[in-house]
Structure 1
């Protein structure tokens, strides 16, 4: 597991205040790895999910830092979404 994934898992769990997520979402960080977010919080994993979001490490970090709006990243092609779009929007609300 890369340092970027380890750091991102910790940041996501902190951002979510230890609360889980109703559904299963996967972030694929290009050239780094994958993170699953579910009822147990965030963890490094490449398991199947209801929605998969893919972005570069820079875009993912900007979303975590609040510098990039996830919806705007999707609309401009910086973030791709495959699967349940409603769940992706719900996660954007949790992270925003």
Structure 2
């Protein structure tokens, strides 16, 4: 597992309190995949309600609060597949 994935899992668990009502998959290009659900965030690749895909720099910037997830989506830096309601819920958490 990459250091990027390890740090992202840690930050997601801090932001969500270790659980999330729904399921989301984060695909960080060239690094790996993170699942977020009622069990918290972990490195895994499972079926989810929504999949968000971005490069490592974009994902790191979103987690650090430097980039708004909606802006990243609108500018093509973040791709969203699946339930847009879950994506909007995630945007408020991130």
Judge same fold: TM > 0.5, yes or no. yes
Residue 46 of structure 1 aligns to a residue in which SS? coil
**Distance in 1 (alpha carbons) for counterparts of 2:35 and 2:80:** 14
Which 5+ residue runs of structure 1 have no aligned equivalent? none
**Distance in 1 (alpha carbons) for counterparts of 2:20 and 2:8:** 16
**4+ residue runs of structure 1 moved beyond 6 angstroms?**
none
TM-score, normalised relative to structure 2: 0.96
**Distance in 2 (alpha carbons) for counterparts of 1:64 and 1:82:** 19
TM-score, normalised relative to structure 1: 0.94
Number of residue pairs the alignment of both structures matches: 94
- In structure 2, the residue matched to 1:15 is 15
- In structure 2, the residue matched to 1:42 is 41
In the TM superposition, what whole-angstrom CA distance separates every residue of 1:33-92 from its partner, at most 9, and x where no partner exists? 000000111110011111000000000000000000000100000000000011000011
Question: CA shift at 1:17, angstroms?
Answer: 2.6
